[in-house]
Amino acid sequence: MKKIVLAAAAVYLGSASFTFAADMAVKAPAPAPVVVPSWTGFYVGLNGGWGWSEQNDWAVGSSTEGLAGHGRLKGGVFGGQAGYNWQMNSLVFGVQGDGSWANIHGSVANTRSLLRIRDAGAVAIRPRIAAPISKPWAT
């Protein structure tokens, strides 16, 4: 009989210790670090596209004088940009350079003339001063 009582007491006390472990206070997780957004850094990008046009009965000059005709233009456009931004407190300073090139070609035809058009491209460098939005947009 003593053995049964001792076994029951051991089972009870053993299970009681596990119950107490589940009721222990849990430490709160550490707060997430605050990430401060910054616009400082380099960036590069590419762009491209395609254009086309078709038109009939063009009139060149102040009178038509037989220069009415039809024309078609088509071709690709591509380019790129690169720059650097530097954020100082609530202002962003930067410089950006970009270039675009096009191979848009076509002709305008009539009984008297044939015109070919080609576009070589453009390059630009520009400074930047801006005030960034302090809170990002929420959707």
Indicate if the pLDDT at residue 126 is higher than 90.
Answer: yes
The per-residue pLDDT for range 33-62, each reduced to its tens digit, is 887 778 899 999 999 999 888 776 655 555
Enter the tokens of residue 75: 């071709």
Indicate if the pLDDT at residue 29 is higher than 60.
Answer: yes
Global confidence as pTM: 0.53
Residue 39 makes CB contacts below 8 A (sequence gap 6+) with 85, 86, 87, 92, 94, 132
Q: How far, in Å, CA of 89 to CA of 132, rounded?
A: 10
Enter the tokens of residue 59: 């009139």
The per-residue pLDDT for range 75-96, each reduced to its tens digit, is 888 999 999 999 998 899 999 9
